[in-house]
Structure 1
Amino acid sequence: MNHLKEKLRKRKFSITVELEPPKGVDTSKLLQAVNDLKGVVDAVNITDGPMANMRTSAIALAHHIKTETGVESIFHLTCRDRNTIALQSELLGASVLGANNLLVLTGDEPTRGDHPDATGVFQVDSVGLVNVVNTLNKGYDLAGNQLNAPTEFMIGVAANPCAENLEKEVEKLEKKVEKGVHFIQTQPVYDIKDLQKFTNCVEKLNVPVLCGILPLKSYKMAQSISKNVPGIKIPDSILKRMELGGQEEGIKIAGEFLKEARAYCNGVHIMPLGNTKLSLEILEYSE
């Protein structure tokens, strides 16, 4: 049974935490992080070559985590590295392994990562990749050939509630939902009014929303995100709190936001940037 899928279908508040794959085959630290979260979260997100850096396969790790810990995963899948033949093959393999929750992403350009000379594929964009997955769910490949059994993927996509042009952002989401999306996972939000406005705009899509929470670890980090990361807005009041309180205040801010978010979305997606302890502290503070 897909616990996360059932919970989101019933619109029960769900909690996921993002984890990065190791650069290598030693998964002990990753499994320890998952075990620390076990019983507290509904699933963990496993990134796919984050920031275009080479890492262990998210699909393989989703299966490994389920086998070793019993915790469900949402594996990320980007358009960057594979053509449509390879994407379909990877997806069928994921289904065989029981990895049935995924987040569809376009992916970062290879020039940003640790293999800058690698060739980006991008045969399809995120809308096209949603269509690929949904076609497999219907029991066919992209060429119209029938599969011997359909897949059962729960398809997620990313969204930015603080997009400069929110109307355009919602239009893109509508196209993805038309292709078969089951849930939306947002970029980090720091102002509850931004989340409220976004969820009001996408309510018509009738798709559960998991709000992104990126805990601030320092005033310097908050300043950097605010100045350099497009689409993420940090209110002056939060910047002031971070200047005075540092990481401890960042945990409080995230915990307070999580409490408020329960009224406006169907769950949260915490991005602790490699520090699982932060996720646990945020969840404890928000109780």
Structure 2
Amino acid sequence: MSDSSRQETSNFLDHLEGPEFTVSVQLDPGSDGATHDLHHLLDAIRVKGGIQAVDINSTSSRAAWDAVMTACAVQARGMVAVPHLTCRDASFGGIVNQVLAGVTHFGLQTVLAVTGDRPKRSFPQCRDGVFQGDAVALVAALDELRRGRHRPGKEQAPTRFAIGVAFDYTLSGSALIREQDRLRAKLDYRANFIMAQPIFTVGHAGNLAARPSRAG
């Protein structure tokens, strides 16, 4: 986690700072009007215990429930949700509006900001995606929301939520250096924690250990 984590309100961050291992499960949102499967899954997760958060994927291959709206549904059932925010499906203004509503009305506390994959060919409604910027710019826009600076010329009350970012430790050479530089930039915009894929090799662990010193 970054050293700015305690400036935000997030049960997920609280657990990351605690002595116990933090477990999250990823949910792929549905693509129809039925919600019973989601409710059954969330009930099963709650009964099982030992899972601190549900992170909500944002798929590029099909039309599906919006990640922020799905996260709000998860929060409404008493669980911590971490929606993936991508630069693919909306402008930064649209993303900020979604997050502001989620935090204000549904208790959303944590988000994961990623650039996002290009839309698949099977998703013709948005062949190119929006991509107003990359994940670094998205983190900057979200931090402006947290600081109450999202309306030019008018200061707003701060909005308290935590921002997570992704890091690809599988890269090498100049690509890895660029990824580390991007991570440093995200941390400069007060990203609170880093998510990566599971690590299976000593070499990949070394790549992650070489991240900027602000990442704890």
Measured against the shorter chain, the TM-score band is 0.7 to 0.9
Question: Residues 103 and 72 of structure 1: is their aligned pair in 2 closer, same or farther, counting only changes over 3 Å?
Answer: same
Does 2:214 match 1:200?
no
After TM superposition, give the deviation of residue 151 of structure 1 in Å: 1.3
Give the structure with higher Rg (CA): 1
Q: What is the RMSD of the two structures over their aligned residues, measured on CA atoms?
A: 2.0
| Alignment of structure 1 residues 1-287 onto 2, 5 Å | 2-10=10-18, 12-38=20-46, 39-48=49-58, 50-68=59-77, 70-96=78-104, 97-110=106-119, 112=120, 114-118=122-126, 119-141=128-150, 143-147=152-156, 149-165=157-173, 166-191=176-201, 193-202=202-211, 204-207=213-216
Letter in 2 for 1:36: A
Asked if the contact 1:54–1:114 (Cα under 8 Å) also holds between the matched residues in 2, the reply is: no
Distance 1:142 1:12 in 2: 39
Distance 1:129 1:27 in 2: 30
4+ residue segments displaced more than 3 Å: 9-12
Matched residue count: 202
Distance 1:131 1:43 in 2: 24
Q: TM-score, normalised by structure 1?
A: 0.65
1:187 match: secondary structure: coil
- Structure 1 residue runs of 5 or longer lacking an equivalent are 208-287
After TM superposition, give the deviation of residue 11 of structure 1 in Å: 6.5
- Structure 2 residue runs of 5 or longer lacking an equivalent are 1-8
Higher RCO (C-alpha under 8 Å, 6+ residues apart): 2
Distance 2:16 2:200 in 1: 23
Letter in 1 for 2:56: I
Which is helix-richer, 1 or 2? 1
Q: TM-score, normalised by structure 2?
A: 0.85
2:60 match: secondary structure: helix
Identity of aligned residues (%): 27
